[in-house]
Each structure stands twice: as structure tokens, then as C-alpha cells.
Structure 1
Amino acid sequence: MEFRHLGNSGLVISEIAYGNWITHGSQVEEETAAACVRAALDAGVTTFDTADVYAQGKAEEVLGRALKGERRDGLEIFSKVFWPMGEGKNDRGLSRKHIIRGAEDSLRRLGTDYLDLYQAHRFDYTTPLEETMRAFEDLVRQGKVLYVGVSEWRAEEIERALKIADEMGFDRIVSNQPQYNMVWRVIESEVVPVCEREGIGQIVWSPIAGGVLTGKYRPGQAAPSGSRGADPKSSHFVKDMTEDEALLRKVAELEPLAAEAGLSMAQLAIAWVLRNRNVSAAIVGASRPEQVRDNVEAAGVTLDDALVARIDEILGDSVRRDAALTRSPEDIRNLG
């Protein structure tokens, strides 16, 4: 395993992080989830990312039990807050009430006294940003949160948060968690330049595009059994890609490139993400331990410029680059 600083902060994290969105508490049994966590630990992964909304708290509980008995100071545990956790009007968003209550609940479910990183899971247009920032700052001063980050925030939203932090004397955000992979590059034009300038690192999710970049989905064929695309509970997350036959044909053309580099398709995709100097970690998920063991082999891999250029040539206009595709819900009252 290789390690990187989280942005310009002093926190060092594994460049492959283990995440349990969709899988823990819903898609796989707890015994399998624990085996995946064990495979990650055995491979040297120290960074684990989750969120309260994943399986409505069950994912945090499963991860907490899977990590029980591990030396806490040897781990970096991340969670997030924003999405609805109940039917109440204050059970969502980034109000002080929801952030404080959300943090307390996450700590309880994870079985820990503190979170290494607590992230605003989306931007909240209905709450003053000063209120949000002060609530996070209070958690930091109480020792319940060590660092603060955001997820899927636009460049101008990150800049607003930094300005408030500087004016009010708060700790600055140190990370952003966006979707980022070979075919989804919307952060490159605006978010990454701001974050590089301000010392904010990216902890990227979906580096293999929900499994699409592994080549498992074939044009004109049904999604393979056991895949995300075949699961009624999760297929909608990848439907746009798995139904794009032109994209699937292009992904198939990447297979010889991966073979030439001595990499699996997943390893190629993850290594491609990690070559971006602003990326602090790539989050991988798994429904089987062998997937974890395969993915972590991307740590420390260097892709040469010629290979990267060939990838770009093959994918062509299938790559999404529009910064406006990063957006948060405008009305949290209708979420859920």
C-alpha cells in the first residue's frame, strides 16, 4: 500500500480507501462485508469511508463491527451528513441541528469516539453556510471530528466555504469527495484547479464507474449475475452507462491496453485516477474479498503518458467534462 497526505493537511491516508456505499447493510450479507473489510486491512488499507445515509445507518453499523478490535489510531474513519435520515423536517440538510445530531448518531453506529473526517455530503442551499461551517467547527473543537470535508461541491461553493472559514477563524475544509473516473471528468476544469490552489485533496468515488470500466458489461448482453447492473436495488446507478452500447464497445477496446500494462481492467482504471496529483485517495467498494485484493494492486502503479493518451483516444467523446454536471438538490424538503 502507498500513502498520501489528505490535501495539504497533516493527515496521511492510504491511497486506496475502502468504501461501503450500496454494499454493506443492503447488497451483501454481513459476513461477506466483514470479509471484504478484512481483505482491505490485510492489504494495508487504513482509510474507510461511509455515510449515515448508506442503508439508512446500517452500513455504518456493519463497518463499525467489522473494525472492532482494530487499533483505532491506526485507522482513518470517514463519514458524511446531508441526506434524509428520517421523515422529520430537520432530519436532512446541513442545519446545525442535523449536523450535530448526525455526528452523534454516526459515532454511536461506528462505535468510535471520533471521526477522522466528517464530510458535508452535498451543498445545502437552504441553510446559511456560516451556520453549517460553525456546526462543523464546534465538532472539531469538541474532539468528535478531526478534519472537515465536503462531497460533490462545485468550485464556487468550495471557495465560499474557505472564505467563511478564514473570516471566522475556523479550520478550513481539507477534502472534496467527487465522482471521478476515465469517463466522468467533470471536476477537472474548475474544482481541481481551485482545490490545488487551496490545498484541498480529492477522495474520489466510483473510480471504476460502478464496474463499467472493468469490462464486465457487454453490448447487447444482459448484466452478469451478481453485478450492480443486475441488482434491482442498485442498477439505476449504472443504467445510463450499461445501456450506452457505444461506451461499452470503447471500454472493451481498453482491454488490450490493460493487458499490455500487466494490469486488470479495474487496476488500470484506479491507477488512471491516482495519477492525478490532486487525488489523495480512490475509494473502492466490493461485494467479494477477491475484488478488494485485485483493486488494491493499483496502489503505486505508474501509467506512462503514451498509455494515457491511447486511453483518451479510445474513449473520445464518451468522456463527460461539463462542470455543471456537479449539482446538489435545491430543495431538501422534497428529498427522501
Structure 2
Amino acid sequence: MEKVKRYNLFWIFCSLMIYSYIPSIIGLSPFFVTVFFQGFGIVLSLIVINYGVRTNTFLVDKYSRLLFLFWLLYFLRMLYSLYFDKTLKHSDYLYEDINKYVTYNFQLGLLIMSLSTYKIKDLEPLLLWFYKVLFIFCFISLFFNLMKEDAQSRADANSYIPTLLYGQYGASLFLLSIIIKMNNTDKKVPNLLLITGMVVGLITVIIAGSRSGILAVLLAFLFYSIVKKGNSILSFLFKIVILFCTLIIYFNVSASIEVLAYFAPEFGDRLGKVFLAQQIDLGPREILFNDAVIQFLEAPFFGSHFVLTFGMGKGWYPHNIFLESLINVGVVGVVFLL
């Protein structure tokens, strides 16, 4: 059973990066690949959950219970919105096949329950496996993206993983490289690999145009430079360089963004819209936020729908988990998430 539990963990954290490349490599329809991999993941989670029930080995604290209750409310509200509420037609949704919403969210609930059967020590060995798979995935994706002639647009990882998720993978690689580097006393991972992971992760965030990713990277870099142990000249110089770069970015944001825009034009433009107020009109993301706030205020206590029901983003998520939760289950439901 321990092997099955390890396979389940690996499947939860690594399978998407692996099977996202299969459709383009062997020419299969993404639909069939997705059905197989998601179906297999659901089976593994159900086996682990069943084992936890039979052996009474669920490690559930109050936070896990609250998270599960939030998911349950979200899931039930979503089912009501999809099959009973006629506010939106199926063609209005981002996924016209509305069963995809049910599948994805049902699998998320199974993930929450199956993870409740693990101890922290069970998760630690997986971290290195996840890091290696993430490194290979980002490295391959970066290689193919650098081979493309069009460097102006925001990059996707592949035909399956879009730019938003790709940027988060890059930020994850950078952050994990720092975390492992700080705790790599037994040299389980070569330092050269970790430094390369930082570089690949940072470039991935930039070419994906991920603003939240670059913020996470900058904060992690600053934190690492402050807490990094060692009194060597190299360590001292590293801290000075990071501090110097931070001061430049802080006191001369405009020049910093212009330099970045030279290497990644679209990403520099996206940062400029945030920090330099380059345009007066609201961008698409800001419009979604505003519409989500309006929809929330119309039904603040119990919510109204799990997607936007009007405006430019009709049928879409508001691209913010808290706003999405508020419009779906209202303040009453979000209390469990907080």
C-alpha cells in the first residue's frame, strides 16, 4: 500500500507536466490523454482514501476540515449553477462541455481527502522527485520557446499548458531551487543544478509574462540573500549585489522596467501598466476584478454563481481565488477558506 500512496503523490504533483506533452509527441487527441490520466489519478486517490477509512489513518486537523467544508460548499454551488440555474447557457461558459468543471473540481476534493492520509515525512522524499520533473519540464519548454522566432508574445509551456500556469511553474522552480539550496547540507542535489534551476525558473517567469511570478521571485531572492549562511567573500558580494539591485528597482522602477522590456518586450509592457500607469483604461484583468466585485455585492452573503454572469468576462473566472469564492459561496462560505 505504501507504493500506491507514493504513486498517488507523484501523480498529483507531476502527472500534468508529463502528460501535457503526450498529445503533441504521439499525435493523440488531448481529450483521450486527459481522460486516461485524470481517470487513473481518480482511481489512485480513491484507493488511498479507502485505505485511510479502513485503517482510520486520516490525519485531519481543524484546518483540513475547514478546507474540505469550503470545497464541499463550492462544489455543491457549482453543481447547482451548472445544472439548475439558467442564468447562463452552456455556450456562455469558458468550457462549453460543462462536465469538465465537475470532473476537475471532484478531483480536487479527492486530492484534499487523499492528502489527509499522509504525514509530513511522507511528503519530503517526493519533493526531490517533483523538483527533478519540474526542472526537466521547464528546461524543455524553455528550449522550445527560445527556438521560436516570435519572442514578442507571452509564451506557453506547450499546446496544453497556457502562459498563466507556465509562469507559475517557473516561479515554483525558482522558489524550490532556493529552498533546497538552503537545506542542501548533504548535497543530495548538485549546486550547479540548483543554480541552473534558478536561472531557468526566472527566464520562464519572464517569457511567460507572469507579474505575480516575478514578484515571488524578487521577494525570494531578497529573503535568500538576507538569511544565506556563510562569511565568505563570495557570500558577502552576493548580498551586496542583491541589495544594490533591490535599491535600483525600488528607487528607479522606470529604468528597471525599460531594461527588462529590452529583453522581454511584452512582459516589460505588462509591468509598466502596473507600476508606471502607462494607460488610463483598465486592462482585461482589472475589468474582470471590477465585474466580480459588482457581482459579489449583488449577493454578498451566499453568492450567486461560480463564474461571471455578465460583462466582458461572462462565463469566465475572475482570475482571483478570493473573488471567485466570494461570487460563488459568498461571505458565509469564504469564512471556511479564511
TM-score, normalisation: structure 2: 0.27
Identify which of structures 1 and 2 has the higher relative contact order when contacts are C-alpha pairs closer than 8 Å and 6+ apart. 1
Which one has the bigger strand percentage? Answer: 1
Greater Rg by CA:
2
TM-score, normalisation: structure 1: 0.27
Which one has the bigger helix percentage? Answer: 2
